[in-house]
Chain A
Amino acid sequence: MGYDNKARIKSSIKAIIFVGVIYGIMKILMLPQINIINPFYQTIIMKIFIEITLALGLNLITGITGQFSLGHAGFMSIGAYTAAFIMLRTTVNVGMIFAATLAGGIVAGLVGLLIGIPTLRLKGDYLAIATLGLGEIIRILLQTTSKDFLGGAAGLSSIPIFANFEGVFFVAVICFFSISNLMKSSYGRALISVREDEIASEAMGVNVTNMKLLAFIMGTFFAGVAGAMYAGYVGFVQPKDFGFMKSIEILMIVVLGGLGNIRGTVIAAIVLNIIGVILQDFSEIRMILYALLLIIIMVIKSGETPWIQKLRAAMNIKSFKFNGKNKAGT
């Protein structure tokens, strides 16, 4: 195990170089003279980074800690509305953009804390239904607000476009490294222990409630930050953008990438968005394909028939299970 200082510095330098190279390559490809990444592709890449941030947050809650949440879009909307609300009332400068994004994350995290305290007592299906309901409540509350405050059903429009490529890129990078470093610490192990066996975890002195709340607050914080970036990227927000289907879309990225698999989430977000772009002329088929993909993944990951088991072994895929559910009771 690399707990010595040298290994730490080495891995940090490696990570910084890696991020720098990716950023550099994309920047070069974006140059008007080269124009491989044209403005159209650039918007897609920005969308991918926003979804990576969202999905990483949900992966922390659902994949790593095992708390099945279906309300992630609700927290995203809180961040989006908070940032939009601030940006519509101030001048656009780097400081304000930073403040608005952070405020989006903090407000979403606070709401996550408030909602988490009562709902995280629930397990498995019940938690999923509760978070689904809460996500919808947030959306409907936003819909019923007055026109001058949060825009009601029409939402907020003509928000200054404050999220640029750098913004969404570094938000995703910060999110990725925060979560992956957390995973390599004692907190990460404690979070996984909660997923694996709550009763044993508590018996070993882990404060299970606090761990669940930690995951929930961090996950919703990043959802809020991603929401803020989303508001600054499209320029308008309306409640119907943050419905149940949005939560499902984020969950799909997490499940496709593998529950608890951070790198997988990044790859899945890229793959799903590319599929989305290819199929954008047939938007109805896109959702059918999404649903089909989800069914296929579920079958491959949890199927018990011999050929599926063989396929799983051949592709080196871990069997999939919802941990909150299969270990209930003492």
Chain B
Amino acid sequence: MKVLNAEHISMIFGGLIAVNDVTIYANRGELLGLIGPNGAGKTTIFNMLTGVYVPTHGKISFENARNNQLTINKVKPYKVARFGVSRTFQNIRLFKELTVLENMLVSMHKNIGYSIFGAIFRTNGFLKTEQEFYESAIKILEATGLDTKKDELASNLPYGEQRKLEIARAIATGAEIVFLDEPAAGMNPAETAELAVLIKRLKEDYKLTVVLIEHDMRFVMNLCERIYVLDFGVLIAEGTPHEIKNDPKVIKAYLGEELQ
């Protein structure tokens, strides 16, 4: 069953065609990879899929577990997020002056069960919601191993944990589809391996569909079930890691040939 369906999407900035007629889809529970050289349009695709950019051409639709359909055409990013689509960012975008726990709680704000007056007068609804938010945030933090640091400011976390917190925060929105933009960037091999295990486990535990952009080929090839390859805004290949590894077009454009 397709949870994400993007048909013939293009993004044109002035005279620049950043993404040209790309069609991608994701099945429920899949772990997809999106690879390609820098400037190929990977992040642009993420931005289109999450509503930040409105595609110049094409149609993007999502389907959630309750079989609701959402076609995003000029739908604001927060509405896309509320439908169950979340993401992380290439350059970490945590709420730096908030604690780890508060970062998680912001993601749950969309499910708020009390009004402003409830907040000012501290009604029972306020207490109940805060308690629920707190419990589910802690659960996700425990799953990512960040629960011991819940009261630290996000900006004080080491780099690797900031990346993890971003993933945890994306899951906290209650998302069914999560887009990870270079989750392993700047990590050492040990951390990368640990991250791969974490992503796999979170995917199973929270029944997620994951689409990730990554330059670490070992990470992508081990983790992803299916891979799309972009070059100059055009989709040049699609297939299993094995197929991609041996695709001459991909080798020429991105992976590189072995020295003769």
Q: Which residues of A contact B (CB under 8 A)?
A: 1, 3-5, 8, 12, 177-178, 181-182, 184-190, 192-193, 195-197, 199-208, 214, 260, 330
Contact = CB atoms under 8 A, between A and B. Distances in A.
Contacts of B82: 205
A214 B52 CA distance: 23
* Interface of B, helix, strand, loop or mixed by DSSP: helix
B126 A185 contact: yes
B197 interface: no
Classify chain B's interface size: 35 or more
B251 interface: no
Contacts of A178: 120
A231 to B, nearest CB: 26
A189 B110 CA distance: 12
A186 to B, nearest CB: 5
B93 interface: yes
17 contacts: A3-B130, A3-B134, A12-B122, A184-B119, A186-B133, A187-B112, A189-B98, A190-B109, A196-B96, A197-B95, A199-B89, A200-B94, A203-B81, A204-B170, A205-B110, A260-B97, A330-B47
B119 A187 contact: yes
Contact of B109 (A184, A197, A205): A205
B113 to A, nearest CB: 9
A273 to B, nearest CB: 27
Nearest to B130: A3
A182 B120 contact: yes
Contact of A186 (B78, B86, B96, B119): B119
Given A186-B106, A186-B130, A197-B95, 11 more contacts: A5-B127, A178-B120, A185-B130, A186-B109, A189-B102, A189-B106, A192-B97, A196-B97, A203-B50, A204-B106, A204-B169
Nearest to A208: B78
Nearest to B81: A205
Given A3-B130, A3-B134, A181-B122, A201 B110 contact: no
B149 to A, nearest CB: 15
Contacts of A199: 52, 89, 93
Given A186-B133, A203-B50, A208-B78, A192 B120 contact: no
Interface string B25-56: 00000000000000000000001001010000
A4 B102 CA distance: 18
A260 B95 CA distance: 14
Contact of B95 (A186, A188, A193): A193
A201 B98 CA distance: 12
A192 B95 contact: yes
Contacts, number: 117
B74 interface: no
Interface in B127-142: 127, 129-131, 133-134
Interface string B152-177: 00000000000000000110110000
Contacts of A193: 95, 98, 106, 109
Nearest to B150: A1
Contacts of B121: 181
Interface of B: 47, 50, 52, 76-78, 81-82, 86-87, 89, 93-98, 102, 105-110, 112, 114, 116, 118-122, 126-127, 129-131, 133-134, 169-170, 172-173
A201 B95 contact: yes
A282 B31 CA distance: 71
A195 B93 CA distance: 12
Given A12-B122, A203-B86, A214-B116, A197 B94 contact: yes
A260 B98 CA distance: 12
Contacts of B112: 186-187
Nearest to B108: A186
B127 A207 contact: no
Contacts of A181: 119-122
Contacts of B120: 177-178, 181-182
A118 to B, nearest CB: 17
A195 B98 CA distance: 11
B98 A192 contact: yes
A207 B170 CA distance: 16
A206 B106 contact: yes
A260 B76 CA distance: 28
B104 to A, nearest CB: 10
A330 B98 contact: no
Nearest to A192: B98
Contacts of A204: 81, 86, 106-107, 109-110, 169-170, 172-173
A205 B78 contact: yes
Nearest to B43: A330
A202 B76 contact: yes
A185 B114 CA distance: 10
A203 B134 contact: no
**Most chain B CB atoms below 10 A, which of A182, A199, A201, A204:** A204
Contacts of B50: 203
Contact of B78 (A3, A5, A184, A207): A207
Contacts of A177: 120
A184 B86 CA distance: 25
A226 B105 CA distance: 33
A202 B50 CA distance: 10
A184 B133 CA distance: 13
